[in-house]
Copies of this chain bind each other. A is one copy, B any other.
Amino acid sequence: MGKVIQSKDTKFSEGDIVLSRICPVSEFGVMPSNLLQKITPAIGIALPDYLSCLGMPGITAWVGIEKIGNAKAGSNVYISAAAGGVGIIAGQLAKVKGCRVVGSVGSDDKVKLLKEECGYDDAFNYRVETDYDAALTKYFPNGIDVYFDNVGGKMLEAVLNHVNHGARIALCGMISEYNKVWTEREGVRNLLNMVGKEVMMKGFMVGSYYNHFEEFIKEMEVYLKEGKIKSKHKIYNGIESFLESLASLFSSSNVGKVILQVTP
């Protein structure tokens, strides 16, 4: 996100606030105007919200829950990496839709946060409840209708033992599998369950859904204004904090979106 100082494109004027998916890490820069999106901050919505709920993490959550997951009132929704920048919004969005939502996270503090501040119906720490199959039996007595998958591997396999007929699985990322050669990755052995249960699984990259951005932002702004969804983010100040902010993504110590504010 940045502020326009000067532009040769008449669509932009000095002072406009713009977003871009490929902003460099810099205090000043020259950008092609076709890669910029002008935003008009609505009253009652803070600028950082446009980088979390109303930005990339927000639309990613929205695509997984609405466009792929087709979550409806009463759906049993499971979200892994549920306190991450995307997961934390996905769960709140599913709650707005009237779903029952349970998330898994890597610390007890995050469990508490999801339940007390984000409206999750329940949450568990996968480092404590390491038998995923038993955990899902406990947290989903009525099975899973929608799974927002951020981790893949063993967790995805466990989910496939608990899916309801016609379940939808949105594959957003597979953090458990990134740093492995593919032949060393966890094999998912129960895809056969997808046949009898008629399960749909779809991988997605949010970039393919930016044609829905207007539709998304119109909907999400309402939820934010009504206080139904809250942004969570941590702001690092000054461009000199860049490396620290980047490293924090891998220590899993942050909750929500990590933002680097280069100028006040």
Checking B156, B187, B194 against A186 with a beta-carbon cut-off of 8 angstroms, the contacting residue is B187
Give the residue among A172, A184, A189, A198 with the most B Cβ atoms within 10 A.
A189
**Separation of A184 and B189 alpha carbons in the complex (Å):** 8
A171 at the interface (CB under 8 A from B): yes
Q: Establish whether residues B194 and A203, one from each chain, have CB atoms under 8 Å apart when the complex forms.
A: yes
**Separation of A192 and B193 alpha carbons in the complex (Å):** 18
Number of interface residues of A (CB under 8 A): 34
A55 at the interface (CB under 8 A from B): no
Q: Establish whether residues B192 and A202, one from each chain, have CB atoms under 8 Å apart when the complex forms.
A: no
Q: Establish whether residues A205 and B198, one from each chain, have CB atoms under 8 Å apart when the complex forms.
A: yes
Q: Establish whether residues B182 and A194, one from each chain, have CB atoms under 8 Å apart when the complex forms.
A: no
**Separation of A183 and B198 alpha carbons in the complex (Å):** 20
**Separation of A172 and B194 alpha carbons in the complex (Å):** 9
Q: Establish whether residues B191 and A171, one from each chain, have CB atoms under 8 Å apart when the complex forms.
A: yes
Interface string of A188-227 (1 = CB under 8 A from B): 1111111111111111110010000000000000000000
Q: Establish whether residues B195 and A173, one from each chain, have CB atoms under 8 Å apart when the complex forms.
A: yes
Q: Establish whether residues B200 and A174, one from each chain, have CB atoms under 8 Å apart when the complex forms.
A: no
Given contacts A171-B195, A182-B189, A192-B152, contact A201 B204 (CB under 8 A): no
Q: Establish whether residues A196 and B205, one from each chain, have CB atoms under 8 Å apart when the complex forms.
A: yes
> Copies per complex?
2
Given contacts A199-B202, A200-B202, A201-B202, contact A185 B189 (CB under 8 A): yes
Residue of B nearest to A199 (CB): B203
Q: Establish whether residues B194 and A205, one from each chain, have CB atoms under 8 Å apart when the complex forms.
A: no
A177 at the interface (CB under 8 A from B): yes
Given contacts A190-B182, A192-B174, contact A201 B198 (CB under 8 A): no
**Separation of A191 and B157 alpha carbons in the complex (Å):** 11
Q: Which residues of B contact A177 (CB under 8 A)?
A: 192
Q: Which positions 146-168 of chain A face chain B at CB distance < 8 Å?
A: 152, 156-157
Given contacts A198-B208, A208-B198, contact A152 B203 (CB under 8 A): no
Q: Other CB < 8 Å A-B pairs besides A174-B191, A195-B205, 18 of them?
A: A171-B194, A172-B195, A177-B192, A182-B192, A182-B193, A185-B190, A185-B192, A186-B189, A195-B203, A196-B203, A198-B203, A198-B208, A199-B202, A199-B203, A200-B200, A200-B203, A201-B201, A201-B202
